[in-house]
């Protein structure tokens, strides 16, 4: 592997830039929130989870996991898991344990599943289009 700036690194840098932009005051977070307080508030773990998710997709993509439907599905599921794992771990400091999943998982699961399936379909359609144009 060369020492260049890979797509994976570029993706992680883009998400880190988004987080830095929001931390600096641009209203880019949910509900127009911004500032450093967001990075220590209840949703901070989800933001860190986005970094882990992008790294996961990039790493698995560089190893060919996005070439098949099942590989893309596993990749996107792993990325979604990373977001929820970091998010819930951080959120646990803010909500009682018995309400953690009700506050930070169940309401967002249907949307995460829908977005994940859409991502897999887009990845597969893009891969087919790339093969046809090659």
pLDDT, one tens digit per residue, over 56-101 is 999 998 899 998 999 999 999 999 999 999 999 999 999 998 999 9
SS3 for 41-107, per residue?
Answer: CCCHHHHHHHHHHHHHHHHHHHCCHHHCHHHHHHHHHHHHHHHHHHHHHHHCCCCCHHHHHHHHCCC
CA angle 61, 109, 53 (to 5 degrees): 25
Q: Which two tokens stand for residue 89?
A: 């771990």
Task: Name the pLDDT band for 127 (thresholds 50, 70, 90).
Answer: confident
pLDDT of residue 1: 47
Write down the pLDDT at residue 130.
67
User: What pTM did the predictor assign?
Assistant: 0.89
pLDDT at residue 45 in the model:
98
Domains of the chain: 7-125 (1.10.1760.20)
Residues 10-42: pLDDT tens digits? 999 999 999 999 999 999 999 999 999 999 999
């Amino acid at each position: 592997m060369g020492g260049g700036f890979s797509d994976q690194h570029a993706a992680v840098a883009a998400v880190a830039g988004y987080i830095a932009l929001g931390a600096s005051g641009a209203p880019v977070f949910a509900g127009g929130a911004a500032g450093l307080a967001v990075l220590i508030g209840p949703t901070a773990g989800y933001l860190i989870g986005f970094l882990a998710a992008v790294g996961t997709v990039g790493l698995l993509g560089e190893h060919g996991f996005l070439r098949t439907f099942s590989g893309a599905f596993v990749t996107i599921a792993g990325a979604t898991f990373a977001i929820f794992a970091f998010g819930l771990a951080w959120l646990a400091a803010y909500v009682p344990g018995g309400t953690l999943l009700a506050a930070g998982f169940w309401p967002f699961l249907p949307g995460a599943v829908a977005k994940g399936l859409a991502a897999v379909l887009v990845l597969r359609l893009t891969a087919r289009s790339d093969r046809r144009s090659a």
